[in-house]
Amino acid sequence: MIARLDPEHVEALTRFFDELPTGDLTFIKEDVTDPATIRSWAAEGAGLRWVALDGATVTGYVAVRPLTGWSDHVGEIRLVVHPAHRRTGLGRELARHALARSVEAGLAKVVVELVADQEHALAMFTALGFTGEALLRDHIRDRDGRFRDLVMLAHDVDGTWSGMRAVGLADELGRENA
């Protein structure tokens, strides 16, 4: 089940991040090892943040962080799945959920940043309609001090819905004015 992040999820989400391998934490932008970070997310009404739940246990997390200023039409997806639940389809389910909520929020474009060698994640987002936007060489330094390439993928929400309108699918999906 995917649920909007609420204060009741703070402890479980904190445990979720505590259980991630150290290497995974390298690629998360926020300091998720600080419980205050997670409490602040829940206190701000969660915004565009969700957790995947198995009972009361968090098995995945996804957020869409709207950019600001001249990029306020763009949202960035941040997604992580617990290692025990990877390659089960949960990541795809969370990504689809985030993409749908991005459309509902009125975002015109959604991006995701991935380490270039994350082949499964790249394939998953590509299958969801994301395309390569940028390759930044040696843009990330991992915990071992090695430089890694960063790939940015983008999903043109307006373009996708425009194409769907052209063939009548937007009406079927309830997005006549999309």
DSSP letter at 105 equals T
Each residue of 45-85: pLDDT tens digit?
Answer: 657 999 999 999 999 999 999 999 999 999 999 999 999 99
pTM, full prediction:
0.86
Is residue 55 one of the residues assigned to a domain?
yes
Is residue 146 one of the residues assigned to a domain?
yes
Element (H, E) at 140: strand 131-141
Is residue 60 one of the residues assigned to a domain?
yes
CATH code of the domain covering residue 59: 3.40.630.30
3-class state of residue 52 by DSSP? strand
Confidence bin at 164 (pLDDT 50/70/90): low
3-class state of residue 124 by DSSP? helix
Is residue 125 one of the residues assigned to a domain?
yes
Is residue 129 one of the residues assigned to a domain?
yes
Distance of CA 53 to the CA centre of its chain: 16
Is residue 177 one of the residues assigned to a domain?
no
Is residue 32 one of the residues assigned to a domain?
yes
| Phi, psi (deg, nearest 5) at residue 46 | 70, -30
Is residue 106 one of the residues assigned to a domain?
yes
What per-residue confidence (pLDDT) applies to 136?
Answer: 96
Each residue of 109-160: pLDDT tens digit?
Answer: 999 999 999 999 999 999 999 999 999 999 998 878 899 999 999 999 876 6
How many domains, in total, are found in the chain?
Answer: 1
pLDDT, average across residues 29-44: 87
- The boundaries of the domain holding residue 159 are 2-172
